[in-house]
């Protein structure tokens, strides 16, 4: 006699959540173990976040990097619900959505990602633009278009945060604005890309220098207004004129996750076992930015898109195993290297014995990301467009 339907609810449609759902759909579920898979996200589109910078320069279009969930999940057994999450009742195994509907689960996957923290610095919340979502990119685009249409001699842009996101964004903005732009990168520590390799740091320094991006190191932001940025370097405070401030500093766990009565670390990430189950809660799985994970070898897993993609495979397998009386697999993280865009047609790629920069790295980065896009159909559509685009540009008058 078939068992009752088991409900798997996945909260968050980023790399961790969407790829877990797609992998679950492809696993060989037995009729004796029927399941329903529900994916919940407040937005209608998945975002391939590493390519978000290409929207700034117009190298890529929104549909290429942010396809609708309904398109990606077509011809699957995955049910998509576009809603925010209001509450999670662990005792009753229920999720309350923003429209007050409730979803009951047998297994819950927490993959809601993080958000850019807003520090107690005057003006950040009102005037700084984060760069994490398609909506952030649109907001930046609108501001740039208005300034470019103006008669001002210079467009002054400051990017706060010298990590991967800040460096990539500064290079893209500098390329878009050209001689009319005056870009600045602000970093509190002594160097940019502190967690990266020396090769990447050197390549980034050269790319920023070639684009005349001013780098402020050991510098903190004291205040932001509609047209000024106040910086503090050691004991010196300067107020400089600026049209746009981008804020790319840090990631924090969503308050909903931080408030759950579950094991957290000091950053409010959920503590998980190597099987990606929340400690002492085998019916809960967590991955991506919200998970404090050490893998089967005891190494700390970084909160990157690369990690979330790898975790998704294991999460899906372990969900399937836990519902079909099979052994679960401990996660083993493999660092496959780093890729970083450093302007138009320029990138770096390190890993697996390779160190590339320039156009060749740019092509390799694009092809790698094409391969990692969520469905074969989307890969084919995007790949064909990338092949045809140079021909269209050449034929256009």
d(CA 236, CA 218): 11
CB 205 within 8 A of CB 196: no
pLDDT of res. 150: 86
Together in a domain, 35 and 142:
no
State the pLDDT at residue 2: 61
Q: Quick one: pLDDT at residue 77?
A: 94
Residues 6+ apart with CB under 8 A from 251: 114, 115, 116, 117, 289, 303
For residue 288, give the DSSP letter. G
> Which CATH number is 103's domain given?
3.50.50.60
Q: What's the farthest any 2 CA atoms get from each other in the chain?
A: 76
Overall domain count for the chain: 3
Residue 257 and residue 253: Cα distance in Å, rounded? 7
Residue 263, judged by CB atoms within 10 A of its CB (0-12, 13-18, 19+), counts as: middle
Residues 352-380 pLDDT 10s? 788 999 999 999 999 999 999 999 999 99
> Do residues 222 and 284 share a domain?
no
Tokens for 98? 């923003």
DSSP 301: P
pLDDT for the residue 354? 85
Mark out the alpha helices in 215-358 (DSSP H runs): 255-258, 305-323
- Domain around 305: 6-42+83-115+252-323
Chain centroid to CA 296: 25
Does 216 share its domain with 161?
yes
At a CB cut-off of 8 Å and minimum separation 6, what does 164 contact? 193, 196, 340
What are the tokens at 200?
């990447």
Which of 247, 280, 295 corresponds to the end of one domain?
A: 247
pLDDT digits (tens, 9 = 90+) for 298-345: 999 999 999 999 999 999 999 999 999 899 999 999 998 899 999 999
pLDDT (0 to 100) of residue 345:
92
Looking at residue 253, what is its pLDDT? 94
Q: Closest Cα partner for 289 from 1, 12, 10, 91?
A: 12
Same domain, 150 and 195: yes
pLDDT of residue 315: 98
What are the strands, taking DSSP E only, across 208-316? 214-216, 219-224, 228-233, 236-241, 244-247, 252-253, 270-272, 277-278, 281-286, 291-293
CB 64 within 8 Å of CB 370: no
Residues 111 and 257 both lie in one domain:
yes
Whether residue 72 lies inside any domain: the answer is no
Amino acid 396: pLDDT? 61
Instruction: Provide the pLDDT for residue 229.
Output: 96
DSSP string covering 41-87: ESSSB---GGGTHHHHHTSS-HHHHS-BHHHHTTTSSEEEEE--EEE
Q: Write out residues in the chain with pLDDT < 50, as ranges.
A: none
Tokens of 257: 């996750």
Q: Given 247, 279, 296, which residue is the final one in a domain?
A: 247
Is residue 299 domain-shared with residue 319, that is, in the same domain?
yes
| pLDDT at residue 31, rounded to an integer | 84
**Pick from 128, 152, 125, 123: which is nearest to 140 by CA?**
128
């Amino acid at each position: 006699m078939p068992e009752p339907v088991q409900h798997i609810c996945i909260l968050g449609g980023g790399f961790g959540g969407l790829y877990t759902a797609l992998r679950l759909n492809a696993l060989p579920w037995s009729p004796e173990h029927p399941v329903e898979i529900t994916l919940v996200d407040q937005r209608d589109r998945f975002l391939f976040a590493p390519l978000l910078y290409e929207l700034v320069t117009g190298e890529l279009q929104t549909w290429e990097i942010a396809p609708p969930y309904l398109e990606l999940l077509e011809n699957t057994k995955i049910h998509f619900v576009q809603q925010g999450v209001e509450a999670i009742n662990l005792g009753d195994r229920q999720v309350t959505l923003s429209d007050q509907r409730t979803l009951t689960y047998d297994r819950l996957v927490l993959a809601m990602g993080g958000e850019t923290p807003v520090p107690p610095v005057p003006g950040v919340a009102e005037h700084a633009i984060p760069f994490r979502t398609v909506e952030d990119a649109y907001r930046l685009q609108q501001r740039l278009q208005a300034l470019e249409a103006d008669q001002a001699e210079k467009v002054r842009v400051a990017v706060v945060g010298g990590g991967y996101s800040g460096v990539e964004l500064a290079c893209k903005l500098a390329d878009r604005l050209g001689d009319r732009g005056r870009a600045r990168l602000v970093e509190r520590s002594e160097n940019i890309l502190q967690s990266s390799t020396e090769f990447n740091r050197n390549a980034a320094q050269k790319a920023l220098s070639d684009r005349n991006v001013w780098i402020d190191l050991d510098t903190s932001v004291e205040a932001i207004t509609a047209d000024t940025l106040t910086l503090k370097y050691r004991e010196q405070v300067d107020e400089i004129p600026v049209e746009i401030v981008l804020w790319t500093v840090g990631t924090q766990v969503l308050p909903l996750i931080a408030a759950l009565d579950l094991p957290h670390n000091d950053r409010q990430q959920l503590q998980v076992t190597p099987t990606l189950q929340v400690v002492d809660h085998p019916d809960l799985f967590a991955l991506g930015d919200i998970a404090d994970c050490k893998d089967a070898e005891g190494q700390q897993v970084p909160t990157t898109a690369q990690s979330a993609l790898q975790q998704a495979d294991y999460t899906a397998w372990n969900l399937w195993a836990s519902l079909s009386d099979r052994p679960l697999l401990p996660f083993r993280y493999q660092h496959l290297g780093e890729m970083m865009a450093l302007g138009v047609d320029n990138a770096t790629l390190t890993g697996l014995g390779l160190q590339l920069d320039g156009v060749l790295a740019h092509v390799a980065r694009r092809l790698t990301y094409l391969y990692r896009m969520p469905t074969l159909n989307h890969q084919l559509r995007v790949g064909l467009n990338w092949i045809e685009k140079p021909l269209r540009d050449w034929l256009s008058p």
